[in-house]
């Protein structure tokens, strides 16, 4: 999804604060039966962030037995968000699901103005007694997709198309590399940053450049299908981000780091209805177990024994016996980043500006 440099810094600041434990707020009590709406900053069929929320919306309707209204193309600014939300509230909507960082301030203002309405917001940075922002621990699913990449690669030379060198991107790159090295200790991951979160031309150019350098698997953190399409055209493999698009590139796709927001939001909506919802004062940073991301795996390029190892690691992450960023862990310059017996903190995850051994980058 689209982000600016300032936006990502703000997300990082939110996460640094979120890393500090805090007592839960009081239960929120919904006035009347639940009436839910979701608002998006882009079209619902963008093949990326918003479409993942649209898939979740449909699944939630089935699981909860309710209708969830949808409003698309609401820009990430208060002058657009405020009237759209207030119109929904005037029609009786009392649970608003936002899907954008840029809704954060407007949601905070609206939550204070309408204390009987529940607000939740994906990638948001603001929270309150009736407002909770949430995001996912994408490094977990990217680690597992990295395992698929390492298992499928014949050369050990893996490429990665990334938007910007921010913490939430770097943690995905590093986890992807560590996953690949679980299957092939000599694997390397060469990264090209496009400088954009959603630019099909730049992502395609980066993917072509990596393929030209002999990479036989391409990973990604971008929002377009360009990387997978280049892999399909070149007869190599790819992993995906946001949602499973293997139907578009069936020969190339190995694994996708997929948002599964319904797994997170369905119990939240149910708790709101029951009067047992306790918004976290600093937001919700969700794991695979909690419903942030998961994997769509595995494509035919992943050997059967590797699939079993990937699924075993996935279960270990869910059980809590596997921590992706557990020590001892050094960066590619030999500096200790996580000592033995420790796990990297959420604050350090969001501030990540370093790379593990085997990552080749422009930075």
The whole-angstrom separation of Cα 362 and Cα 190 is: 9
User: What Cα–Cα distance (Å) separates residue 64 from each residue in 31, 57, 67, 279?
Assistant: 18, 10, 9, 20
* Predicted pLDDT of residue 25: 55
The whole-angstrom separation of Cα 8 and Cα 352 is: 12
Burial, 92: exposed, middle or buried (Cβ in 10 Å; 0-12, 13-18, 19+)? Answer: exposed
Overall pTM > 0.85: yes
* Predicted pLDDT of residue 26: 65
pLDDT of the chain along its 363 residues, tens only? 444 333 444 444 444 444 433 444 568 999 889 999 999 999 999 999 999 999 999 999 999 999 999 999 999 999 999 999 999 999 999 999 999 999 999 999 999 999 999 999 999 999 999 999 999 999 999 999 999 999 999 999 999 999 999 999 999 999 999 999 999 999 999 999 999 988 999 999 999 999 999 999 999 998 999 999 999 999 999 999 999 999 999 999 999 999 999 999 999 999 999 999 999 999 999 999 999 999 999 999 999 999 999 999 999 999 999 999 999 999 999 999 999 999 999 999 999 999 999 999 986
The whole-angstrom separation of Cα 158 and Cα 140 is: 19
Could you tell me which of 276, 321, 317, 319 has the C-alpha nearest to residue 293? 317
* Predicted pLDDT of residue 146: 98
């Amino acid at each position: 999804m689209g982000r600016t440099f300032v936006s990502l810094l703000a997300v990082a600041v939110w996460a640094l604060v979120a890393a500090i434990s805090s007592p839960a707020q009081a239960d929120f009590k919904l006035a009347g039966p639940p009436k839910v709406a979701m608002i998006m900053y882009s079209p619902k069929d963008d093949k990326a962030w918003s479409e993942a929320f649209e898939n979740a919306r449909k699944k939630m309707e089935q699981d909860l037995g309710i209708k969830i209204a949808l409003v698309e193309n609401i820009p990430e600014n208060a002058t657009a968000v405020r009237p759209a939300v207030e119109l929904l509230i005037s029609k009786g909507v009392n649970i608003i699901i936002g899907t954008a960082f840029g809704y954060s301030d407007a949601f905070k203002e609206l939550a204070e103005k309408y204390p009987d309405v529940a607000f939740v917001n994906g990638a948001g940075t603001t929270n309150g007694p009736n407002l909770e922002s949430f995001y996912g621990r994408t490094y977990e699913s990217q680690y597992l997709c990295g395992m698929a990449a390492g298992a499928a690669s014949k050369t050990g030379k893996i490429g990665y198309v990334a938007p910007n060198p921010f913490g939430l991107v770097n943690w995905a790159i590093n986890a992807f590399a560590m996953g690949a090295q679980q299957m092939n200790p000599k694997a390397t991951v060469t990264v090209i940053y496009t400088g954009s979160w959603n630019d099909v031309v730049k992502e395609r150019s980066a993917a072509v450049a990596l393929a030209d350098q002999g990479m036989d698997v391409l990973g990604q953190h971008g929002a377009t299908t360009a990387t997978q399409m280049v892999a399909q055209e070149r007869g190599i493999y790819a992993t995906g981000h946001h949602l499973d698009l293997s139907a578009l590139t069936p020969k190339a796709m190995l694994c996708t780091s997929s948002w599964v927001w319904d797994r997170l939001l369905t119990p939240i909506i149910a708790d709101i209805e029951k009067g047992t919802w306790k918004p976290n004062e600093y937001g919700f940073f969700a794991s695979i177990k909690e419903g942030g991301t998961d994997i769509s795996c595995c494509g035919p390029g992943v050997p059967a024994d590797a699939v079993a190892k990937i699924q075993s690691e996935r279960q270990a992450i869910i059980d809590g016996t596997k921590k992706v960023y557990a020590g001892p862990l050094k960066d590619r310059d030999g500096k200790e980043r996580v000592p033995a017996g420790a796990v990297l903190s959420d604050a350090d995850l969001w501030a990540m500006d370093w790379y593990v051994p085997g990552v080749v980058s422009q930075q």
